[in-house]
A and B are shown apart, each in its own frame.
Chain A
Amino acid sequence: MPHQGNAGEDGASFAGEIASPVLYGAMAGVLGRLLLDPPGAEMIDTLAAAGVLLQESPSSHADMVQGMSLLRSFAGTWHHGLAPLLVQDYTRLFVGLERTLAPPFESVYRSEEHLLFEKQTAEVRERYRRFGMTVPARNRIPDDHIGYELQFLAALCSCMDEAVESGEREKVRRCAAEARDFIGDHLSVWLPDFIRRVEEHAETVFYPGVVRLVSGVTAEIQRTAAALCESGGSA
């Protein structure tokens, strides 16, 4: 449905509307970081000090609310004595000891053989490439790591935001379509299994909170991106 208006005419509402993709983009960026990096005490200090957990949930999406609440309660009890527990969770869930309890890689859940470096890894890599992006260490950490997928979403949200600001409707539409499809083809497909495994095996509420929030943020980005696509690139 082609939209006949222009950015200047509905500038005020436009700015309000596009706030949510950038917000969720920033959240996706933060969550990506939290899932990529080992949980140093400094990281949690930074998170607790930022004040974001004290705010109201940015949306009423159930996973968003639950994720915020879990993280808030974790931050409320946080002290450095908990750091080893958190590191242990990270190690058992994502790095792996004898078993990797919640491998943070899409292909492990979705490929026919449930392995690393599979078809989904290649597909995600191709998505990044088409958007002019790449993982930092190719063929070392699989491209379909949850953290990279979230960082990709963050980049798409920035793109939507910039395009809206500059009134480039076609670019808005393309970025939004990419975000919508990327989530539909990838993240939303494997997130439920990943979340289940994190919740089953985690011994603190930190990572369950993080992945619930991932689910909420992803859902909101998908909803927003779909709306932008439907409106033909304007708000």
Chain B
Amino acid sequence: MPDKKTHMTIAGAVSRRDFLKWNALLAALSAGAPASGGLRRTGAADMLASVSRLEDRVVRVGCPSHNCGGKCLLKVHVRDGMIVRIDGDDRPTDDVADPQLRPCVRGRAYRRRQYHPDRLKYPMKRTGKRGEGRFVRISWDEALDTTAAAMKRIRDTWGNSALFVPYGTGSYSNTNGSHVARRLMNCFGGCLGIYNSYSWACINIATPYVYGTLQVGSQRQDWLNSKYIIMWGWNPSEMRDGTNSDYFISLARERGARVICIDPRMSMSAVNLADEWVPIRPGTDTAMMSAMAWVMITEDLVDRAFIDRYCVGFDDSQMPRGAEDAESYRDYILGTRDGIPKTPDWAERITTVPRRTIIRIAREYALTKPAMLYQGYGMQRRAYGEQVVRAGAVLAAITGNVGVSGGWASGLATQAPDGGPFWTVFPSGSNPVKARIPVFLWTEAVLRGKEMTAANAGIRGTDRLDNTIKLIYAVASNALVNQHSNVNRTAKILADEDLVEFIAVQDNFLTPTGRFADILLPACTQFETYGIEDGWKYGDEVLLMPQVVDAPFETRSDYAICADLARRLGVGEAFTEGRDEREWVSWIVDRYRETRFPDIPDLDSFEQSNRGVHSNRVEKPAIGLQSFREDPDKNPLPTPSGKIEIFSKRLHDMNRPAEIPAVPKYIQEWESPFGEEAERFPLQAIGHHYMQRVHSTHDNVDWLNEAFPQRLFMNPRDAATRNIRQGERVRVYNDRGAMTLPVRITPRILPGVVDIPQGGWWTPDENGTDTRGCVNVLTTERWTPLAYGNPQHTIMVQVEKI
């Protein structure tokens, strides 16, 4: 091949010259490259070797779960340091006393979050205006030095009470999550405190006005003893509310219980678990409950003996001292004072529930003993969310379903005998700053902190705030923008650098909250560090979360990041006490052993066993308020009267009867289909907890998105009057904001109501219209009267064809 040879030789000559230059360039570039920079030789080539034998491991591990409402067990298959598959709990011992903790689609799809190409990989700093979402990669040293310097500067200028760690539940496993940042702040002299939550604001505050405590629930195995179960706005099939809650309800039904689901939408729970679905207009549940009480009182179906012995304020005969002449519950229900008897006819007009249905359910609930009325949490995230909590508890009380097997006291019922899971054992420490705000009022504390008092804003620990919020360190929190009300307002507040001077956001992804960061800190997932958890609200088990794989890129655990910040702030030793994540988990295992789990093995044995879970069998479920029921004189409730307070003297004394009545009342909401606002915005919008997500977590997981697309659910009647066709994009708006999203037309939602599942990631277009379906562009920052809680399901909107 002489021709080819000649050609090659010429080309080769050129190549040699080129080669030297490229090679010199390579050497020059490599000299400046990071030490971690390249593929390297480990030893002799082994090119003839067959495929190396890789060790496959199966690790049983608690699901990262993110405050979804459950705590389940995953089987994670790992090959050569990579997660290749995820299965669920398959323990052969599976019975009612210790059921398997089977994960839902979110846990099963977790690889898609874990190995998502959009993971936040490196520390970054903002380059554009705050909120523009422009960042560049920086080193960990620069990121942490900047954050620590801002913390010091703002503390020195404004004081510790100008520092703030917002509510956030994106991680929830003791060594990961916002409580870790809280410990850091507490070591650093404290920060403005918070109390209450976005989940349970009204139910947390209102339940004790009836029972004096939140601990009024039974262990769930007792649900099997119930004969009649009302799931009122409760949807355990989708939001879980304790792993296996839906399973226990289905077992009760198999054993003969009749199950009713009252909900504006035919939820998965209505389909899976219920004998009957009763659609109801949102925000009117207390009207139906009041009408049920009217039926029970007028037909003499109440448990009079129980009321006489265990309750106060039911009627004139048992009004507390100092309020003898006040309106009793019976007065309210019969309309003795206000002239409006709360009849089924009255309630039908408000709720849309036919009077016959109301009467029938009232009779069934009063006469089928024992019965459970279980309240979901959505209906208390409303304008007067306190009322429905108390109204449900009062129905339980006047039917005598409190403190008995198969009954249920309603309200926020944490479980007997010990209150159930701890949630977090990792010690946040005590906060030297005593001032605490209701968690929902943090934007107020940014805008006008010094005007906020105990009286006007529910401030605790001090009469008046001495600061406004100047620094925010958001860890595992998308509540700063996406999950807080009125996104457009919040975004404006955060974008103003004269208000909050520094924002650090620490998360797994660049969320809508992350867009407002000055510094972004990449956190690893729960599979990439050690953690441990007990159940979510219910449950008698501890789930171990050993580190399964390495943290990729430059991600680090929340704990490790905070520990590094602590060192820079001179409180490293106080923060770590010499422990790393695993050593804290070991410490936590010991705390569990001292309390709820005396038989739990030490961490080494627990981990070695690869069981992933340690459980207490529940053979004889504890009954909530049983001792009170057995002897109310010896075991009074922690209320002022020692009894169940159907009428609350404490609320009476607040002297705000229109918004905070002493007996639970139906109050027309501030945005309502019965108000003037309905002329412009005639549809009620709710934002239910969707199977696709846990709040806003998982919104970027494509499988879940495909299975549960983000869309507006709308009744065919409402669609027809607007000429809207199935699947097309529609515009939803009110005075606070607007969005576009596809519509799902379905009879599974009440006419006059639309549902925009909460948690979609706010994605504004150039005009500020959200394009993803983030319900909070429509919600209001106004708070509920008693709990200072979030009313995010009380919104009126209009929907139009685009």
A interface list, Cβ under 8 A from B? 10, 12-13, 15-20, 22-23, 26-27, 29-30, 32-34, 36-38, 40, 42-43, 46-47, 50-52, 55-56, 58, 84, 87-88, 91, 95-100, 103, 105, 108, 113-118, 121-122, 125-126, 128-142, 147-148, 151-152, 154-155, 174, 178, 235
Contact A130–B45 (Cβ < 8 Å): yes
CB-contact partner of A148 in B39, B127, B553, under 8 A = B39
Bound together, the chains give a CA A225 to CA B122 distance in angstroms of 37
Contact B26–A30 (Cβ < 8 Å): yes
B13 at the A interface (CB under 8 A): yes
Query: What is the total number of residues of chain B having a CB less than 8 Å from a CB of chain A?
Result: 72
B92 at the A interface (CB under 8 A): no
Bound together, the chains give a CA A42 to CA B17 distance in angstroms of 24
CB-contact partner of B134 in A10, A88, A174, under 8 A = A88
Chain A neighbourhood of B81, CB < 8 A: 138-139
Chain B neighbourhood of A84, CB < 8 A: 127, 136
B340 at the A interface (CB under 8 A): no
B83 at the A interface (CB under 8 A): yes
Contact A117–B115 (Cβ < 8 Å): yes
Given contacts A20-B11, A33-B26, A52-B21, contact A133 B41 (CB under 8 A): yes
Chain A neighbourhood of B32, CB < 8 A: 40, 42-43, 46
Contact B552–A117 (Cβ < 8 Å): yes
Closest to A26 in B: B22
Chain A neighbourhood of B40, CB < 8 A: 133-134, 136
Contact A115–B550 (Cβ < 8 Å): no
Contact B39–A152 (Cβ < 8 Å): yes
B23 at the A interface (CB under 8 A): yes
Q: How many A-B residue pairs have CB under 8 A?
A: 212
B interface list, Cβ under 8 A from A? 5, 8-19, 21-26, 28-30, 32-47, 49, 51-52, 54, 79-83, 111-112, 115-122, 124, 127, 133-137, 509-510, 515, 549-553
Chain A neighbourhood of B80, CB < 8 A: 122, 125
Q: What are 25 A-B pairs at a CB distance below 8 A?
A: A13-B8, A19-B16, A19-B19, A20-B12, A20-B15, A22-B23, A26-B25, A26-B26, A29-B26, A30-B25, A30-B26, A46-B29, A46-B32, A88-B136, A91-B135, A95-B137, A100-B117, A115-B116, A128-B39, A133-B42, A134-B39, A148-B38, A155-B39, A155-B41, A178-B47
Given contacts A52-B25, A138-B81, A141-B553, contact A37 B37 (CB under 8 A): yes
Contact B37–A55 (Cβ < 8 Å): no
Chain B neighbourhood of A103, CB < 8 A: 117
CB-contact partner of A22 in B5, B19, B33, B552, under 8 A = B19
Besides A29-B26, A30-B25, A95-B122, 15 more A-B contacts (Cβ < 8 Å) are A13-B5, A20-B12, A23-B19, A26-B26, A37-B29, A91-B137, A96-B119, A96-B510, A98-B509, A100-B117, A100-B118, A117-B115, A133-B41, A134-B39, A139-B81
CB-contact partner of B14 in A58, A147, A148, A152, under 8 A = A58
Contact B28–A52 (Cβ < 8 Å): no
Contact A55–B549 (Cβ < 8 Å): no
A130 vs chain B, min Cβ distance (A): 5
Bound together, the chains give a CA A46 to CA B79 distance in angstroms of 41
Chain A neighbourhood of B39, CB < 8 A: 128, 133-136, 148, 151-152, 155
Contact B119–A116 (Cβ < 8 Å): yes
CB-contact partner of A129 in B22, B33, B52, B120, under 8 A = B52
Chain A neighbourhood of B36, CB < 8 A: 136-137
Bound together, the chains give a CA A74 to CA B265 distance in angstroms of 59
Contact A113–B82 (Cβ < 8 Å): no
B520 vs chain A, min Cβ distance (A): 9
Contact A43–B552 (Cβ < 8 Å): no
Contact A32–B22 (Cβ < 8 Å): no
Contact B135–A55 (Cβ < 8 Å): no
Contact A116–B552 (Cβ < 8 Å): yes
Closest to A155 in B: B39
Closest to A177 in B: B47
Contact A113–B112 (Cβ < 8 Å): yes
Chain A neighbourhood of B5, CB < 8 A: 10, 13
Contact B23–A26 (Cβ < 8 Å): yes
Q: Kindly list the 3 A-B residue pairs having the minimum CB-CB distance in the complex, ordered from nearest.
A: A16-B12, A19-B15, A115-B115
CB-contact partner of A132 in B42, B52, B117, B137, under 8 A = B42
Indicate the member of B33, B35, B118 with the most A CB atoms within 10 Å: B118
Chain A neighbourhood of B133, CB < 8 A: 97-98
Bound together, the chains give a CA A29 to CA B27 distance in angstroms of 9
Chain B neighbourhood of A56, CB < 8 A: 14
Contact A114–B117 (Cβ < 8 Å): yes
Bound together, the chains give a CA A178 to CA B48 distance in angstroms of 11
B706 vs chain A, min Cβ distance (A): 12
B258 vs chain A, min Cβ distance (A): 44
Chain B neighbourhood of A137, CB < 8 A: 36
B19 vs chain A, min Cβ distance (A): 4
Contact A50–B118 (Cβ < 8 Å): no
Closest to A135 in B: B39
B624 vs chain A, min Cβ distance (A): 45
Chain B neighbourhood of A16, CB < 8 A: 8-13, 15
Bound together, the chains give a CA A130 to CA B23 distance in angstroms of 25
Chain B neighbourhood of A34, CB < 8 A: 29
Bound together, the chains give a CA A46 to CA B27 distance in angstroms of 10
Chain A neighbourhood of B22, CB < 8 A: 23, 26-27, 29-30, 50, 52
A167 vs chain B, min Cβ distance (A): 17
A99 vs chain B, min Cβ distance (A): 6
Chain A neighbourhood of B82, CB < 8 A: 117-118, 121-122, 139
B637 vs chain A, min Cβ distance (A): 50
Given contacts A116-B117, A139-B552, contact A132 B41 (CB under 8 A): yes
Closest to B83 in A: A117
Bound together, the chains give a CA A46 to CA B46 distance in angstroms of 36
A46 vs chain B, min Cβ distance (A): 5
B531 vs chain A, min Cβ distance (A): 19
Chain A neighbourhood of B33, CB < 8 A: 33, 36-37
Contact A139–B549 (Cβ < 8 Å): yes
Chain B neighbourhood of A174, CB < 8 A: 47
Bound together, the chains give a CA A99 to CA B702 distance in angstroms of 13
Bound together, the chains give a CA A212 to CA B141 distance in angstroms of 35
Chain B neighbourhood of A178, CB < 8 A: 47
Chain B neighbourhood of A116, CB < 8 A: 115-117, 119, 552
Contact B18–A58 (Cβ < 8 Å): yes
Given contacts A91-B136, A117-B115, A178-B47, contact A140 B552 (CB under 8 A): yes
Bound together, the chains give a CA A37 to CA B12 distance in angstroms of 31
A174 vs chain B, min Cβ distance (A): 6
Chain A neighbourhood of B79, CB < 8 A: 122
B81 vs chain A, min Cβ distance (A): 4
CB-contact partner of A151 in B23, B38, B121, B509, under 8 A = B38
Bound together, the chains give a CA A98 to CA B119 distance in angstroms of 9
Chain B neighbourhood of A37, CB < 8 A: 29, 33-34, 37
Chain A neighbourhood of B553, CB < 8 A: 140-141
Contact B52–A126 (Cβ < 8 Å): yes
Chain A neighbourhood of B23, CB < 8 A: 22, 26
CB-contact partner of B24 in A50, A100, A128, under 8 A = A50
Chain A neighbourhood of B127, CB < 8 A: 84, 88
Closest to A127 in B: B47
Bound together, the chains give a CA A38 to CA B34 distance in angstroms of 10
B338 vs chain A, min Cβ distance (A): 53
Contact A97–B510 (Cβ < 8 Å): yes
Chain B neighbourhood of A118, CB < 8 A: 82, 115
B138 vs chain A, min Cβ distance (A): 10
B556 vs chain A, min Cβ distance (A): 11
Contact A17–B8 (Cβ < 8 Å): yes
